[in-house]
Amino acid sequence: MTRRKKVNNTGILRVGGIPYHDAWVAYKCVNCKKMNYVRVGQQLLTPKEAIETAVWKCEHCGFIHSKESDLPFDNWEEKYNSADSTTALRFWEGFFRIATEHPESYWKQCNVCTRILPFNAFSKHSGWGPLERQMECRSCKGAINAVLNPKRTKEQLHESAVRRRIADLFLEEENEPIDFQDLFDRFNSRCFKTKKPLDINKRDTWAIDHILPSKYLYPLKRENAALLSRNANENKRDKWPSKFYTNNELIELARITGANIDLISNKHPILNRNIDVNKGVERYLQVREKSDLHKRIKEIKKILLVYDLVNNLSPANKKLLGFE
């Protein structure tokens, strides 16, 4: 099906001519140590192809990065710098492998702020170019969403709030207290996504990620908790783990937490049905005398239908809510 054309009414415009599907290689010049960017297009290089064919000229000092080049290191013996030496060849093999080994090694250009940024600066978008990443970096996407979110209708905002409230009620007795020190120890006091150090005493700088989101009715438990910076957690929000974390990160996450790798790597969200739906219904219907009971019943029924949880109700609650 043809993708629906979107109308940009945010006032944050894309820059024309940006090759937003193309992949880039970024490297520091071995001679002048300055950053360089090489556009490789939509066909990713393998490390073998790079070592055999790449001739990358530093735009700052003109040094040629190629397996045919001598190395410029003053702290190496001259014979080790020679391009025909085994040491130089091994160095160049490692140099090109670092830049091209995985899709995560590549960089991409944002078509809003125009910066060339690492792979992880862009959110996943299946089928979009060789890197399958969105056109806008996460910084620009955050700015765009800041404009778009207030434009959501009152009904959309209310329904979203209702879903969160009902999910919280379903999970109220399922959540477990998280030992902060244990969490920091397991993640080496670093944000799992950005790898930046975090201070356990600066509570406003870090957050506990529901690896499997509460939106899909997964409680917060030790095996479902990851340590993220506040900004990374805001980017994660209620995304399914495979939509936010890379494959390598998912494997590492499962190792650290004991999470089910088959579940968190699934491409599509899977609803947790191993919860007591009846208790959630009972909590939601505990209303004050002057509350709108009829409205609450309509809300809970809609959520049960959306989540396909009607069959999880007891016969008494099915009858109470008018499902039979």
Q: Per-10-residue mean pLDDT for the chain, 324 residues long?
A: 47 83 95 96 93 96 96 96 96 96 94 94 80 90 79 55 68 85 95 93 91 90 94 88 93 95 92 85 74 80 83 90 84
CA-derived radius of gyration, the chain: 25
Q: CA 61, 53, 65: angle at the middle one, nearest 5? A: 20
Q: What are phi and psi of 162, to 5 degrees?
A: -60, -45
pLDDT of the residue at 1: 38
pLDDT of the residue at 4: 39
**Nearest-angstrom CA–CA distance, 294 and 299:** 9
- Give 10-31 pLDDT, tens digit per residue: 678 888 888 888 999 999 999 9
**Nearest-angstrom CA–CA distance, 22 and 13:** 19
For the chain, the first-to-last Cα distance in angstroms comes to 39
Q: What are phi and psi of 246, to 5 degrees?
A: -75, 170
Nearest CA-CA partner of 162 in 323, 145, 170, 312 = 170
Nearest CA-CA partner of 22 in 141, 135, 170 = 135
Helices (H) and strands (E) counted in the chain, each on its own, are 12, 10
pLDDT of the residue at 162: 61
pLDDT of the residue at 204: 86
pLDDT of the residue at 274: 84
From residue 199, how far is each of 205, 207, 228, 257 by CA, in Å? 8, 11, 11, 20
pLDDT of the residue at 255: 95
pLDDT of the residue at 287: 63
CA dihedral (149, 154, 156, 161) positive or negative: positive
pLDDT of the residue at 10: 65
**Nearest-angstrom CA–CA distance, 124 and 158:** 28
Specify the pTM: 0.51
pLDDT of the residue at 163: 64
**Nearest-angstrom CA–CA distance, 254 and 261:** 6
Which two three-digit tokens encode residue 41?
A: 């297009």
**Site of tokens 């947790």:** 272
> Do 28 and 36 touch, CB atoms closer than 8 A?
yes
**Site of tokens 């590549």:** 106
